[in-house]
Amino acid sequence: MMNAVKICVFTILVAAFYSYVSQMVPQTVTYPPEDTELGADMTTEDLVAAGEEIASGKGTCLTCHTVSGETGGRFPDLANIGLVAAERKEGFSDVEYLAESLYDPNEYIVEGFLPGMTPISDPPIDLNDREILAVIAYLQSLGGAPTVTLDTELRWQSEENSAGASTSSQASVSGAPSSENLSGEELFTMYACGTCHSVTEPTPLLGPSLYNVGNDLSTAEIYEAIMDPDAVVSEGFVAGLMSAQLRATGFYDKISSGQLKTLVDYLALQKGGS
């Protein structure tokens, strides 16, 4: 019996040790990438900024490429790409070279590197033509002068893709809800949160007011309050009511992770009108 207890304690200690080691490395939550809103009236400067955001986010460009000027990486460094792009491939302008590198990356391989980059217009990256234009503007800005606008036409663009929304293969398989692009306020209304909570007045309704929730709770706490409403119940309110309501209306089955994030972000902005 004593041996069994010792073995049991030993097992728990070893597992706890590995859990402890795992808390020592950087702790990052990675959310699904979101589409970047690109307005028709964006200046080239705006486009560069949007392109940089896409390159480090949804485009996942900077997962493989560096922008440091250092050599020796697995993929070409992009620090001076705006400068050298026009000279890389004979008969290609800088925009054409960059466009081909993004739409059809294995067509031309920089010397010393191996092929293998995924076309970023295809899943899993799946940027639309407008987003790719923004990335090209950003790449041009790295050592050069950006010239592309959202009106720039490229021969690789597809008619349906340039419309703005991603329409490639997975849309038909994923069955992603069409309400994916709704704002936080629209989601708040769509899921009837306002029936019990007010965001415009500090007065509580059936549930606590969310007028100042952005100051009262962190983003993580707001997330928990939605996903597990009974974890912490505000004083004076009934436990179990909200969770029962959300289950009954099928909220947890309907809401996607993107919608949830939008909703949480919207609530985090409710700071008592300030």
Partner 1 sequence: MKLLARRLPSGVLLFLMLAGLALVAFWTPDAWAQEAAGQVEYRSFPVVGSRVVVWVIAQLHLMFGAFVLAVPMFALTIEFIGFRNGDKRYDDLAYEFTRLLSVSFSFTASLGALLTFFLFILYPRLMEYLVSIFDWTFMLYACVFFLEAVFLYSYYYGWGKMPKWLHLVIGLCLNLVGIAIIFIADSWLTFMNSPNGIDAEGNLLSTWDAINNFTWMPINIHRLIANICFGGSIAAAYGAYKFLGAKTDEERAHYDWMGYMGNFIAIAALLPLPFAGYWLGREIYAFSQSLGIALMGGTFSWLFIIQAVLIGNLFLAANYYLWLSMERIHGAERYRKFTKWLLASITVCFIVWATPHSLVATVEEARAMGGSHHPILNVLGVMSAKNTAVNVLILTTYLSFLFYRRANKEATVSWAKTGNIIQFGILAVVVGVVIFLGVYGYFVEASVRIGLSIPQVSLVLFAMISITIIDVFMFRKAKILGPIEWGKIPNRAQYALFFIAITFAWTMGLMGYVRSGIRQHWHVYGVMRDTSVDAFTPTLGYAANVVSVTVLIFFAFIAVVFFLSSLAGKKKLDAGEGTSS
Among 137, 258, 267, 270, binds partner 1 (CB under 8 A): 258
Q: How far is the CB of 241 from partner 1 (least distance, A)?
A: 16
CA distances (Å), origin 24, targets 17, 27, 170, 184, 272: 11, 8, 37, 35, 37
Among 87, 113, 165, 273, binds partner 1 (CB under 8 A): 113
CA distance 200 to 194: 10
Among 5, 39, 40, 124, binds partner 1 (CB under 8 A): 124
**Listed residue (32, 6, 31) closest to 166, CA to CA:** 32
Question: Considering the rule CB under 8 A, would residue 5 count as an interface residue with partner 1?
Answer: no
Q: Residue 185: what residue type?
A: E
Question: Considering the rule CB under 8 A, would residue 12 count as an interface residue with partner 1?
Answer: yes
Question: Considering the rule CB under 8 A, would residue 227 count as an interface residue with partner 1?
Answer: yes
Nearer to partner 1, 91 or 175 (CB): 175
In this chain, which stretch among 15-23, 45-53, 128-136, 146-154 interacts with partner 1, using CB under 8 A?
Answer: 15-23
Question: Considering the rule CB under 8 A, would residue 7 count as an interface residue with partner 1?
Answer: yes
Among 46, 53, 60, 212, binds partner 1 (CB under 8 A): 60
**Buried b vs exposed e over 55-65: b needs ≥16 C-beta within 10 Å?**
beebbbbeeeb
Question: Considering the rule CB under 8 A, would residue 156 count as an interface residue with partner 1?
Answer: no
Question: Considering the rule CB under 8 A, would residue 159 count as an interface residue with partner 1?
Answer: no
Cis peptide bond N-terminal to 124, omega within 30? yes
CA distance 132 to 117: 15
Task: Please report the DSSP string for 84-144 in residue order.
Answer: HHHHHSTT--HHHHHHHHHHSGGGS--TT----PPPTTSTTT---HHHHHHHHHHHHHTTS
Question: Considering the rule CB under 8 A, would residue 165 count as an interface residue with partner 1?
Answer: no
Interhelix angle for 129-141 vs 81-88, to 10°?
A: 110
Binding site for partner 1 (CB under 8 A): 3-4, 7-8, 10-12, 14-16, 18-19, 21-33, 60, 63-64, 72-75, 112-114, 116-118, 122-125, 168-170, 172-177, 227, 247, 250, 252-253, 255-258, 260
